[in-house]
Structure 1
Amino acid sequence: MALQWMILTYVVAAEAALALLLTLPSPKAVKTRLVSLISLILQPSMFILPFTGFQLLGFPLPLLLFSSTVPLPVIYNCIPSSFPDLYWKKEHRLMCTGEICTAAERDRSEKSIYKAQRNVILCASACLLYWCIYRLCKYYKEIQSMEEVEKRYKDQ
């Protein structure tokens, strides 16, 4: 489970770097090659959208791929999802009154809530950054085609 979130963290960092590269001013030739390269990368990297959706909604995607060999109770009980997990932890938080819970238990509970919140933010930012990169590339290509049309009209 931690490996999935670590991979998602790296993907979000890479998407942020790509978005930064697209928005930095650069010469037209460099920008054109950069946009074409990123556009080629976008299609195979679209796997991140269903991955984050399945992680948020609670469907363990890696186990769903092997659902013919793994029994269903194992699939649904193996990996907790983010939204339901976050809701359950918030609603069933330890209420520390008197000597009912120790500081270690309270810290562990707060740490798990923070991890669940981090996971939700990671999934949302992965989808948002992918969409931003896609739109930036599309806008740049539209601007390029409009410039070509304008150049043709000027030549006529």
Structure 2
Amino acid sequence: MALQWIILTYVVAAEAAIAILLTLPSPKLLKNRFVSLVSLIIQPALFIVPFAGFQLLDIYWKNEHRLSCTSEICTAAERDRYEKAIYKSQRNVILCAAACLLYWSIYRIVKYQKEIQSLEEVEKRYKDE
């Protein structure tokens, strides 16, 4: 089970790095090449949205069927284990939400950059006429 979360963590880290690289100021040629590269990768990377959604459903199901340890007969170790599981679930929900949000933001940044490129080409054509 931990492999899923490691994969999701690496994907979120890669998405964050791509988002930072897309938003940093850079020379026009370099930015255009990077945007075209990311636009080729963005469609196959869509797998992260259903993957994160499935993970969220898994967290919800485990939360609904988790044995709660709120009575006085629970030992300190059981209570600590229960609280640790709750914290891990909260961290994983944030990770899933970050994966979807970063994917969406990268998609929108690439789309805006492509629109800017096309508008610059139209402007260049009008100036040449």
Q: Structures share a fold, TM > 0.5?
A: yes
How many residue pairs end up in the alignment? 129
Q: For the Cα contact (< 8 Å) 1:85–1:116, is it kept in 2?
A: no
Q: For the Cα contact (< 8 Å) 1:52–1:123, is it kept in 2?
A: yes
Pick which of 48-57 and 6-15 moved more.
Answer: 48-57
Name the residue aligned to 2:13: 13
Name the residue aligned to 1:135: 108
Name the residue aligned to 2:69: 94
Name the residue aligned to 1:149: 122
Q: For the Cα contact (< 8 Å) 1:83–1:120, is it kept in 2?
A: no
When normalised by structure 1's length, the TM-score is: 0.77
1:2-151 to 2 correspondence within 5 Å? 2-57=2-57, 81-89=58-66, 93-97=68-72, 100-151=73-124
> Could you tell me how far 1:12 is from its partner in structure 2?
0.5
Q: For the Cα contact (< 8 Å) 1:42–1:134, is it kept in 2?
A: yes
> Could you tell me how far 1:85 is from its partner in structure 2?
2.2
Could you list the runs of 5+ residues in structure 1 that have no partner in the other structure?
58-80
Larger relative contact order (CA 8 Å, sep ≥ 6): 2
- Paired amino acid for 2:89: A
CA distance in 2: counterparts of 1:18 and 1:151, whole angstroms:
29
> Could you tell me how far 1:86 is from its partner in structure 2?
2.9
RMSD over equivalenced CA pairs, Å? 1.4
Deviations 1:78-119 (A, max 9, x none): xxx112323454xx532253xx22221111001111111111
CA distance in 1: counterparts of 2:19 and 2:63, whole angstroms:
29
Moved over 6 A (4+): none
Q: For the Cα contact (< 8 Å) 1:48–1:127, is it kept in 2?
A: yes
The structure carrying a bigger helix percent of its residues is 2
- Paired amino acid for 1:122: L
Percent identity over the alignment is 71
Q: For the Cα contact (< 8 Å) 1:56–1:120, is it kept in 2?
A: yes
Q: For the Cα contact (< 8 Å) 1:11–1:126, is it kept in 2?
A: yes
CA distance in 1: counterparts of 2:92 and 2:65, whole angstroms:
15
CA distance in 1: counterparts of 2:93 and 2:63, whole angstroms:
9
When normalised by structure 2's length, the TM-score is: 0.92
